Amino acid sequence: MIEFEDVAYAYSGDALLSGLSLTMAPGSFHFLTGPSGSGKTTFLKLCYGALRASGGQVRLFGQPVETLDRDRVAYARRRIGVVHQDCQFLDHLPVIENIALPLTVTGQASPDQNANLTELMTWVGLTGREAALPPELSGGERQRAALARALILSPEVILADEPTGNVDWEMSQRLLRLLIELNRMGKTVMIATHDLMLIRAAKAQVQARVLRIAGGTLQTAGADL
């Protein structure tokens, strides 16, 4: 799915990440942890081609990113759903239209999409909120809408950047259950988080690999997590 081979990334000439090697196999579940500013978001951006490595090689679905032109990178990104930390929406559009935006952008909108959208909103627990505008949503509703938007193109990989950072523990558990269910459906999942309680809760339910970025390198976290 996604492979890193001795990957490095430098920002403004300063090395942020180096020597990263990782294989995300189909159907695997990963946590990515580390202190604020350690490079978790940068790592995720390398995973979906938003950033290009300054050293080593990133492969998306078997293809080196540096060999892909803009169109082929865009096509690869359709196979990767990203839940961004900031959950940005178009505030003048109702939530159901915000969720459907990837269909419109990729030219996949269709007259019969509303039934699928309604089903997806039900699955993430947003029944009855279709017409709500983003400013009217609670923090938990925004995160679930962001997850629905990431899933609308039926991606094979889900990357979630601090998806529970702005919600309470109960909502964190609900979002975690949705991501675990996606993994059980065969999706590859990676969650970037600093919440060790969330990681411990997940490890009781799913076989998850825990990775830590420290000092610009990627390490396998110990069994104490």
Cβ-proximal residues to 144 (8 Å cutoff; 6+ apart), any chain: 124, 125, 126, 174, 175, 178
pLDDT of residue 56: 94
Beta strand ranges found along the chain (DSSP E):
2-11, 14-24, 29-33, 55-60, 63-64, 80-83, 157-161, 188-192, 209-214, 217-220
Whether the model pTM is above 0.85: yes
Taking the CB of residue 71, how many other CB atoms lie within 10 A of it?
8
Question: For every one of its 225 residues, what pLDDT tens digit does the chain have, with 9 covering 90 and above?
Answer: 899 999 999 987 788 899 999 999 999 999 999 888 888 999 999 999 999 999 999 999 999 998 988 888 888 889 999 998 888 899 999 999 999 998 888 888 776 677 788 889 999 999 999 999 999 999 889 989 999 999 988 899 999 998 888 788 888 898 899 899 999 999 999 999 988 889 998 988 999 999 999 888 998 875 455
CA angle 144, 74, 139 (to 5 degrees): 15
Domains assigned to the chain: 22-51+78-220 (3.40.50.300)
State the pairing for strand pair 29-33/188-192.
parallel
Backbone angles phi, psi at 174, to 5 degrees: -65, -45
pLDDT of residue 1: 84
pLDDT on residue 225: 52
- Confidence at residue 209, expressed as pLDDT on a 0 to 100 scale: 92
